[in-house]
Amino acid sequence: MSYYTQPTSATYPYGAYAQTPYAYQSPAGYQPWSYHQYPYVHPGAQVVRPATQVQPQPQRPAPTPTPTVPRSTTFQPYTPSYVRDNTASTSTGAGRGSRKQSNMKGLFTKELKNLMYGFGDDRNPANDTVNVMEEILIEYITDVCLAAGGSSKKGRLSVDDLRRVLSRPADSKKLARMEELLFMQEDIKRARAQFDDADNPRGL
């Protein structure tokens, strides 16, 4: 005995079955998204960009120039580091030295160039520079000689007079150099005397 009932018709209506959930209602099973925008732009289309607003910068006040006060320049003459012994004889001797200085021009040019090169100057310094150095040197030698011969009654200067003038602390280096040169001079004299005695032992 069977409980199966034979269907009366060969067609089965769709309404007889429950609808399948999440079934597509459109004929095609896909559609483009409504919220999606394609980034492609047609070459002929003009792209409109928003204009950027430029904010004007505030103007700063121009700086006021500070007033400059001109300085008054005063000329300071050269003053020697020592006081001369005899003022009268020095003033008269300076006048004679200034007249004779033109005759002594060029007397120490070669030596001054070598000295300047030894102290770091150019090999061939300018003639004006050498002339100025020569004037300073002649003026210094004149001042030392006048100060040395002011107190002595002799006409010629002696080594002791120069030592007395250069015995001041400011001229200590010059005094040491003079003593060195005097020692070298005496040493050369002794060496020459020995050669003369060796060549002519009997003094013939």
| Spatial CB neighbours of 138, under 8 Å, sequence gap ≥ 6 | 97, 101, 104, 107, 108
Kindly indicate the confidence band of residue 90, based on its pLDDT and cuts at 50, 70 and 90: very low
Instruction: Report pTM.
Output: 0.44
Provide mean pLDDT across the span 93-97: 51
**What is residue 59's predicted lDDT score, i.e. its pLDDT?**
77
Kindly indicate the confidence band of residue 88, based on its pLDDT and cuts at 50, 70 and 90: very low
Kindly indicate the confidence band of residue 62, based on its pLDDT and cuts at 50, 70 and 90: confident
The pair of structure tokens assigned to 57 is 């910068």
Could you give the CA distance from residue 204 to residue 199 in angstroms, rounded to a whole number? 10
First vs last C-alpha separation in the chain: 184
- Give the CA distances from residue 169 to residues 111, 141, 185, in Å, rounded to whole numbers and listed in that order: 27, 18, 25
- 183 pLDDT more than 90: yes
Q: Which residue has the higher pLDDT, 178 or 85?
A: 178
Kindly indicate the confidence band of residue 182, based on its pLDDT and cuts at 50, 70 and 90: very high
- Per the listing, tokens 């095609």 go with 28
- 195 pLDDT more than 90: no
Q: 155-167: per-residue pLDDT in tens?
A: 788 888 888 889 9
Q: 117-153: per-residue pLDDT in tens?
A: 998 988 899 999 999 999 999 999 899 888 888 766 6
The pair of structure tokens assigned to 97 is 């030295």
- Per the listing, tokens 């700063």 go with 60
- Give the CA distances from residue 30 to residues 22, 26, 36, 39, in Å, rounded to whole numbers and listed in that order: 13, 8, 14, 21
Listed range (96-110, 114-128, 133-147, 179-193) with the worst mean pLDDT: 96-110
Q: Give the Cβ contact number of residue 85 at 10 Å.
A: 15
**What is residue 196's predicted lDDT score, i.e. its pLDDT?**
79
